Amino acid sequence: MNIASLEDESVQARLIQQILSEAGHQCTIFSSGREMLSVLARGNDYDLLLLDWEIPDISGLDVLRWVRANLGHGLPIMMLTSRTLEEELVTGLQAGADDYMIKPIRKGELVARVHALLRRNKPQPASEASFPCGPYEIDPANEAIRLDGQKVELAPKEYELALLLFRNPGRLFSRDVLSNSVWNREIPATSRTLDTHLSNIRRKLQLRPEHGVRLNSSYALGYRLELIDPDSVPSSQQ
């Protein structure tokens, strides 16, 4: 993979480059944030960015913010930092970092974290084969979901949301993950867009216990499609 590393300390930069080269990756070193931004602005062909937080001219945090604002969230980014305060690390994650690593650099940990990020962000071919979920049949090839054999009419974004949930029953999705997966951007917490779409698919698809599914929601934690046994649900709840 093609990795770019922002590191102004020459010994650390060579160490990072050596570790990643030995792991089979190509690593380009940038010693200034301005230099990295200049290259990224002309076109990005990197698979991963490693950003040192404390760079004299433009900090790694500012580079991170520029990338998220201008290149989106598709490019994985890991912060390398000597900072250990929780609030500072949270600031980096909230700004769009996918992971962080506390210095000093440890070879095994760096390689493991890099490989985990690359696996997580590697596009996976979506299966076009239909699959069942209780009384539902999900047909990705025709972008259709059927309940008891009848196609349910869904708006495009409603379908994408429902497909994501049906493909991952039991998985808890945060609001940010859902909005980035379907809209390719974060939706402000004050917006009702996501909630309205989820309410629509709950109603249109009749996501109720008698159909063996339940869409659980927690504003703080996220949303989860749960599979349940309809026979275990008291008749008063059906």
- For 169-191, what is each residue's pLDDT tens digit? 888 888 888 888 888 776 766 67
Packing angle, helices 175-183 and 193-204, rounded to 10 = 80
Are the C-beta atoms of 49 and 76 separated by less than 8 Å?
A: yes
121 has pLDDT over 70 = no
State how far the alpha carbon of 73 is from the alpha carbons of 66, 68, 98, in Å.
Answer: 11, 6, 9
Element (H, E) at 226: strand 222-227
Mean pLDDT score of the chain = 86
CA dihedral 171, 159, 142, 167 (to 10 degrees): 0
Average pLDDT for 35-48: 90
Return d(Cα 163, Cα 144) in angstroms, integer: 9
59 has pLDDT over 60 = yes
Return d(Cα 15, Cα 52) in angstroms, integer: 13
The SS3 of residue 136 is: strand
Indicate the pLDDT class of residue 19, thresholds 50, 70 and 90. very high
Q: Say which residue, 137 or 230, is predicted with more confidence.
A: 137
